[in-house]
Amino acid sequence: MKEIKIFFIMVLIFLAAAFIPFSRPAVQNALGEAFFMMQEYARQHVLLCLIPAFFIAGAISVFIRKESVIKWLGPQANKIRAYGIASVSGSILAVCSCTVLPLFSGIYTRGAGIGPATAFLYSGPAINVMAIILTAKVLGAKIGLARAVGAVAFSVIIGLLMQVLFGRGEEKNRDQNEFISAEDHKDARPLWKTSLYMATMIGILVVINWSKADPSLRVWYFIYRIKWYLGGAWFAVLAWMLVRWFKKDELKEWTFSTWIFAKQIFPLLLGGVMVAGFLLGRPGHEGIIPSSWVAGLVGGNSLWANLFASVAGAFMYFATLTEVPILQGLMGSGMGQGPALALLLAGPALSLPSMLVIRRMMGTKKALVYILLVVVMAAITGLIFGAIF
Amino acid sequence: MEIRILGPGCPRCHEVEKRTMNALIELNVAADVQNVTDIKKIMEYKILSTPGLVINGKVKCSGRIPSREEIKRWIQEEK
């Protein structure tokens, strides 16, 4: 099949090259916007935000023992605690999006049941650590926080609702064996060390990205003034931690894991940025899609706008992190805050391909309910957020 | 020796496969290595998270990329 794929790609490229009206000023402008947006990301977000975020993701995937977290989600687990853990653990357990579905399947069939499993299914992509960081940096702390809080809340609520609706029949069919844990944890680092290490990295990330504030906001502005000293000092602490608490092998694995993330995500993000730039332009500029269309469809904070954003987001496929530049373009073209949040909450969690896989795993009825829950709650949350802010 | 690499096909699973093949070459051991990418089949192994490494039907590792040394050790155990 590979040769056929290559052939089709060549045909597509040829058609694009021959038929895209490059002479039209609108197209030229859109192309410019694609590159300008790429430059903006390269200059403003890559070094201080993306790279640290990749390191953090790498650390999570290497140093945090999934087994210890999953203990809380097994069949013997306290049900209430299971929801709490499932909703936040998505970011910890599934930093790589490809592990979400096997994990979901495991928790569903051998764990605490459909409730926590669905909570996890949603929270995995929705609370992606790197995505939240980039969202806060690019789109603003308010919406970043709203996304994080919304994602956690949704997981719990959707999980509970699914359990209420479908929980009964599940009890008998489930295989009550716990997960196989192939490891023993002789070398496990004490939890407090791992936590401090992660907190330090996140702290550095937050501090070096501290945005300029109004001098009247005393504390905020003060931190901004000393952000590099703070960052530097914290970095020295991190360096000490790395030397004292970690073996060379572990550091190598960490760097390697970081590199895998960078290799996987960076090209996709770049592509997403250019597409967003071409279609929507940077904030304050136009892309190929006229701002009036965007404002008409998803501007303001009407129920229709939120619903449309939510549904569109659910079907659209967003490669990891690409929802950020796309949203940046949309908001710059007139999308309201409410619909933007709706898209953030529905988009990364679902896509047409993922809907099909979920259907295969849960069955059509449950899958439909799940999708509906996500879309409706995203729209409502967007509505509320847009109304308050 | 039968080796199965469990994973839907992401870069981590490929890395596990690469390391496994290198380990086999270094130890001069022959084995039937296959990728299992179908989710339902992966779940039959009862692992928690991909990537997964199974040697002779026993799950040696799941949810992370094992080091070269670990893979070599497991292959030796199963010889």
Tell me which chain A residues have a C-beta less than 8 angstroms from the C-beta of B45.
180
Give the gap in angstroms from C-alpha B2 to the nearest C-alpha of chain A: 18
pLDDT at res. A110 = 67
Nearest CB among A180, A256, A361 relative to B59 is that of A180
pLDDT band at A296 (very low <50, low <70, confident <90, very high): confident
pLDDT in tens, B34-69: 998 887 788 788 777 778 899 998 888 877 888 888
What is the Cα–Cα distance from A237 to A198, expressed in whole angstroms?
12
Contact assessment for residue B46 and residue A103, using Cβ atoms and an 8 Å cutoff? no
Q: If 0-12 CB within 10 Å is exposed, 13-18 middle and 19+ buried, where does residue A340 land?
A: buried
Residue of B48, B68, B72 to mutate when probing chain A, most A C-beta within 10 A: B48
Look up residue A350 and give its amino acid: L
ipTM of the complex: 0.77
Q: What is the mean pLDDT of residues A146-161?
A: 89
Residue A281 φ/ψ region, left for φ over 0, alpha for ψ in the -120 to 50 degree band, beta for the rest: left
Domain boundaries defined on chain A: 25-168+192-388
Global confidence as pTM: 0.80
> Is B23 near chain A, with CB under 8 Å?
no
Nearest CB among A98, A177, A257 relative to B10 is that of A98
Cis peptide before B66 (omega within 30 of 0): no
Per mean pLDDT, which of A18-27, A198-207, A216-225 is the most reliable?
A18-27
Contact assessment for residue A203 and residue A232, using Cβ atoms and an 8 Å cutoff? no
Per CB distance under 8 Å, which residues of A are interface residues toward B? 61-62, 66-67, 70, 93-94, 96, 98-99, 101-103, 105-106, 109-110, 177, 179-183, 249, 253, 256-257, 260, 263-264, 357, 361
With a cut of 90, say whether residue A174 has pLDDT above it.
Answer: no
CB contact under 8 A, B45 and A180: yes
Tell me which chain B residues have a C-beta less than 8 angstroms from the C-beta of A61.
64
Contact assessment for residue B1 and residue B75, using Cβ atoms and an 8 Å cutoff? yes
Domains of chain B in start order, with CATH, are 2-78 (3.40.30.10)
pLDDT at res. A91 = 73
- The residue annotated as part of the active site, out of B1, B10, B27, B39, is B10
**What strands, in cross-sheet order, belong to the sheet with B58-62?**
B32-36, B2-6, B52-55, B58-62
Instruction: Transcribe B11-23 into DSSP letters.
Output: HHHHHHHHHHHHH
